Amino acid sequence: MDWAGWVIGAIIGAVFGLLIQNIAFPSTSRRLAEWRRRRFFAEANRAWDAVERGHPNLFLVQAGWDRSGCFPPGSVIFRLDDTFELSDGRLARLRDDHTHQWTADDFKDAEQAGISSISITRVSDRPDDEQHGRSHHMRLMMHTYRYFDHLATHLLRLTGTDAEKAILNAAAGNVTPGAALDSFPNPCSVGLSVFCEDGTHLALTRRTTNPGAGGHSHAGKTYNAVGESVAPRDFAVALDGSLESSPDVVARRGLYEELGLTVNDIAMCAINIHSFAWSSDILDHKFFGMAITPLSRAEIQDRWRNAPDRSETIGNELAFRPVQTRSECLRLLETIKENSDEWAPEAAFSSIRSLLTLRRVAPADVTKILGGP
């Protein structure tokens, strides 16, 4: 081969190499990364059986659908369009029979927002939309209700007399995780695992023992730093004139009211909602997510001590669990397993799911630690 042929061959080889490097390899690399991501979350959802065996009353209904395992902002919408009433006379009489006692126990008959229907739909089959969480949409139609209506249905079904439980179970009918009950107000809440110091420590509280402040459920147990019920004040007028909100809005309000974060503090948080769950005992739905803040443990502690609403917690100190390294995260899983009676299901659920979403632990770790005897 003469020198000219050699030069032409070298140029063709270089161009071919560049094409392989810049076109074929990135495409193959992206497909491999997407396959690994899908496999990780498929394994995470299978491993979740181990969590539900330890806390059998709280079930994962829908995991987040973007590439990080979270719900992209705007893909979950609450729309408030009705007012709930106890139309069943038997249930209304139960409420009236207990109102005096609930008032004496310092319960407040506040107005809250519950679910009237749940719709989860696929809106696109495009691979790019799938990767970026734009392929699905969740809409929760909601109504306002009075808190005593919740006590007269969801709570009394667990704590009432045998006769009261029979009435309420008959009124509830067949219950399923993905649907709201026609005759119950169906509360909805948002719980957050709060990680401070850019994610190195998990902040936890302890549930109050005062029934009127929330101590009727999981009193004294380890609890998420933020757990906020959806309320009418979370809704704003949308462009079409309807009243809309989202889990992200409720999460930000919870960071202010229950943790005492300022507007600037909240703006610095990375807030992601990763799960939609259903409680088979209280028959309500809950979103779970995480907030990662650069604030230090001391700063979070100080904010919390001055929070507007600390009524659902006890004590003067938050608990901080180190979660920076894999070994620290595994130790937290072991702690949840060994002390499951001391953890509210909501705290265990959100903490574990958050560590999985952050890839701090692997699905196999969850199965091995929580699925064992």
Close Cβ partners of 199 (under 8 Å, ≥ 6 residues apart): 292, 323, 324, 358
Answer whether 196's CB lies under 8 Å from 225's CB. Answer: no
pTM strictly above 0.75: yes
Distance of CA 159 to the CA centre of its chain: 26
* Rounded CA separation 17/19 (Å): 5
Q: Tell me whether strands 136-146 and 76-83 are parallel, antiparallel or unpaired.
A: parallel
- Token representation of residue 210: 């005062």
Residues 226-270: tens digit of each pLDDT? 999 999 999 999 999 999 999 999 999 999 999 999 999 999 999
Q: What's the first-to-final CA gap in the chain, in angstroms?
A: 73
Helical pair 363-370 and 345-357, crossing angle rounded to 10 deg:
150
> Structural domains in the chain?
47-370 (3.90.79.10)
Helical pair 363-370 and 25-54, crossing angle rounded to 10 deg:
20
Q: For the residues 329-333, what does the mean pLDDT come to?
A: 97
Determine how many CB atoms are found less than 10 A away from the CB of residue 189.
21
Residues 74-117: tens digit of each pLDDT? 999 999 999 999 999 999 999 999 999 999 988 899 999 999 99
Lowest mean pLDDT among 20-34, 213-227, 277-291: 20-34
